Structure 1
Amino acid sequence: MRHLFVATLWSLLLSHPLTASATGAPPVPDFNALENQFGAAWQAGQTPLQLLFVDDMGGNKMLRRALEVSDHTCLSDGRLVYVADISGMPGLIARAIALPRMRKLDYPIWLDRNGDATAMLPRQEEGVILQNTGGGDVERFSDGALLLARLLELCGTAVAEEAGAEP
């Protein structure tokens, strides 16, 4: 009787649909539905290696603070892509406050305005998701210091401008 129970349990575990999906690649957004803070559409053929994803103000603030000291080259050249779901932001706030602030930044932020392109992505309340788009791990950050350490590992430290740098 015990062997029958164990055999039944194994067959249920092996046939469960979650087992198959857990080994698959994590979902990626529909990049073609995104545009950056300047209104430019995603260029077909771009394939980022890593994806930073935020969907709330807390995660956005944490990521922006970490980006203040990390090198933005990895964002500008597309190795790392910053994607923000701004579908929950009121349109007036987005147009009058958020987008003008984003346009002052020297790196692209890819925006999902209606939430459809990023609906399948994992979420981290008041945090940041870092995902390898080639099928790797999904990392969740709710601590700014840990996020900063990971960004410095991926992108390096920002180089001080020559005019303000001291020898």
Structure 2
Amino acid sequence: MLCLLATLGHALEVGERLAPWTLLDQYEQPYSLDDGLQLLLVARSMDGAKLLKAALEGRPKGYLEARHGVFVADISRMPSLVSSLFAVPAMRDYNYRVLLDRESRVASRYPGSESGVLWLRLDHGKLIESKEFSDAAALRAALESIAP
């Protein structure tokens, strides 16, 4: 039990390999973490999701994918009726893929605030940079700095 608690409290360190996971997106299509992923964006709340949406406003379809990035939205606190009838269908209109963490089993692995967007840069599955954004313009500028 103590080992489990120690693992849960362990913050991800630069140089560490991310544990594998698979999530479904807003179209019920699976996505699995692989060594090709270079940018993992995580939002734990509606505020974080809105921040990313604002940063990506006006960007073409495939913008994140071109930067080898994905977005994980922790929707575990959203009532399932609300998510299935309103939130997820609305996400189908987004021009980017949203990986839905319905049980907070992925987002909870990465430390971060409730209201921002966690930015994890990866190299062959290993963490090379971690930062947080609470401003859409700053997040947009950081995304623009990544060559597609």
Name the TM-score, length of structure 1 as normaliser: 0.70
Indicate the structure with greater strand content: 2
2:78 aligned with 1:89: yes
> Shift of residue 63 of structure 1?
0.6
| Gap runs ≥5 in structure 1 | 1-20, 157-167
Identity %: 30
Q: Answer with 1 or 2: which has the greater Rg.
A: 1
- Structure number with greater CO (CA < 8 Å, separation at least 6) is 2
Indicate the structure with greater helix content: 1
How well do the aligned residues superpose, as a CA RMSD in angstroms? 2.5
Q: Provide, for residues 66-107 of structure 1, a one-character-per-residue CA deviation record: whole Å limited to 9, x for no partner.
A: 111334434235701111111111101101111011111222
Q: Is the 8 A contact 1:124 1:141 kept in 2?
A: no
118, 134, 142: which one pairs with 2:134?
Answer: 142
> Shift of residue 148 of structure 1?
1.5
Name the count of aligned residue pairs.
Answer: 135
Q: Is the 8 A contact 2:20 2:34 kept in 1?
A: no
Q: Is the 8 A contact 1:48 1:79 kept in 2?
A: yes
Aligned partner letter, 1:142 = S
| Gap runs ≥5 in structure 2 | 1-10
> Shift of residue 47 of structure 1?
2.8
Distance 2:130 2:60 in 1: 22
15, 21, 35: which one pairs with 1:31?
Answer: 21
Three-state SS of the structure 2 residue aligned to 1:47 is coil
Greater shift in the superposed pair: 68-77 or 84-93:
68-77
2:64 aligned with 1:68: no
Distance 1:146 1:58 in 2: 15
Name the TM-score, length of structure 2 as normaliser: 0.78
